[in-house]
Every structure is written in C-alpha cells, then in structure tokens.
Structure 1
Amino acid sequence: MSEQLTVIAFMRAKPGAEEELGRRLMELVEASRQETGCLNYDLHRSNTDPAVWCMYENWRSRVDLDAHFQTTYLQRFAQDKDRLLAGDSDMHYLSMVSAQAASRSV
C-alpha cells in the first residue's frame, strides 16, 4: 500500500452561505496546491444541491497532510467554519490499493 493519502471532504453550507463558502474554499485551492506534498487539490460542487461542496485531495503522505492542517490559511478557514457550515465536514481518508494508472494524452 502506498504512503499516498487521498482525502475527500464533503461540506454543506448554511442557508444563505452557499456562495461565500464556495469563495472561501476556492481561496484554499491555489495556496494548497503550492504546498510540499500536495499532489492535487480540487474543489467540486454538487450538481443537484448547490449547498454541497467537496474537496478532493491527494497528498504524498500523512505528514504532508498534517502540515497542511497547520497552515495559516486553513486555520483562518477553520475559525469561520461554524458561521459557514451546516454541521461538521464529512471527512474520508483513503489509501490507494491499486497501481496508479499511466498518464494518457487526451
């Protein structure tokens, strides 16, 4: 099993905070992508429920993810989460068990 760690986090915005939550999450994308150990960091929004947002992240290791959680910009987001989120984030931590697919040209 690889040391690589995948994180999938689902968040539901409080009523009226859907767009602000999206803006705040977008602010995390570019900064997170610059971190050592970040393989990808992508924001998604539900096609059927505009209050539901999802972060899909791959990290080189748990150590890199733990460092991500300590960044100032993620700490700032965490301070505002109670105002933006309707409940806790639904966090899933996964390890890849298949071989990584070869890159393909599209």
Structure 2
Amino acid sequence: MTAQSSATPTPANGEQLTLIAFIRAKPGRGDELGRRLGTLVEPSRAEAGNINYDLHRSNDDPDVWVLYENWHAAADLASHFEQPYMKAFVAALPEVLEGEMDLRRCAMVTKVAA
C-alpha cells in the first residue's frame, strides 16, 4: 500500500454537499423537538436541489436528533436556509434547543455504491 497525499480529496460527485446536523433538545423536550423537525422533512425533500433529507433519533439519548441531508450543490443548501418555513423553524429553536446545533458540512469522496 502506498502513502496517500495529505491534500484534501476531490469530491466524487461534483459539488454535492452533505449536511449532518446534531441537535440536542432541552431536557425533556426531545419529543417536541422531534415533532418540529419532522415538519421540515417533506417540504425540504420537495426543494429543488435536494437529494435526500432524513431525520434520526439517538438510540442512547432521546433528546438528541440528527438530520442527514444531501444537496446537489452548496447553493441549494443556502437556498434551503432562506425558505420561510426554515426561517420560522430557526427563529423558534430557542424554545426547545439546548446549546448550539452542531452542523457538519461534508463532501462525499467515494462514488455512490451501485
């Protein structure tokens, strides 16, 4: 096996962007946060540029939620955050959110499995 270059790998899918959001509810507010997050799924999936938008709940902590999203390009994700329903969601987050959301933007570096 040869040594790999330390350069950043080139995304395998052009500009495709993955966003993984880790979101913690205030203690005891996990169900409410999940309900609110659930309302985002269908409109997000209907947006131009969305590949998938999936909501997950931690098996270990019911107050922790994860959104796994794929977008064709960073501009599509930027447009997503400008949608009125997203702005309303973000504005109401302090009611149920503990701390800050942990948003991780990632580029897929392997080809999609066949």
C-alpha separation in 1, matches of 2:85 and 2:97: 17
**1:28 maps to which residue?**
40
**1:63 maps to which residue?**
75
Amino acid at match of 1:12: R
Which of 94, 99, 113 is the equivalent residue of 1:87?
99
Give the gaps of 5 or more residues in structure 2: 1-10
SS state at 2:80 partner: helix
SS state at 1:27 partner: helix
Which of 82, 88, 92 is the equivalent residue of 1:76?
88
Residue 50 of structure 1 pairs with residue 83 of structure 2: no
Amino acid at match of 1:63: A
C-alpha separation in 2, matches of 1:57 and 1:23: 18
Larger radius of gyration: 2
Q: TM-score, normalised by structure 2?
A: 0.87
Count of aligned residue pairs for this structure pair? 102
Q: CA RMSD in A?
A: 0.7
Q: Cα deviation per residue 1:38-73 (whole Å; 9 max; x = unaligned)?
A: 000000000010000000000000000000000011
Give the gaps of 5 or more residues in structure 1: none
C-alpha separation in 1, matches of 2:95 and 2:36: 12
**1:7 maps to which residue?**
19
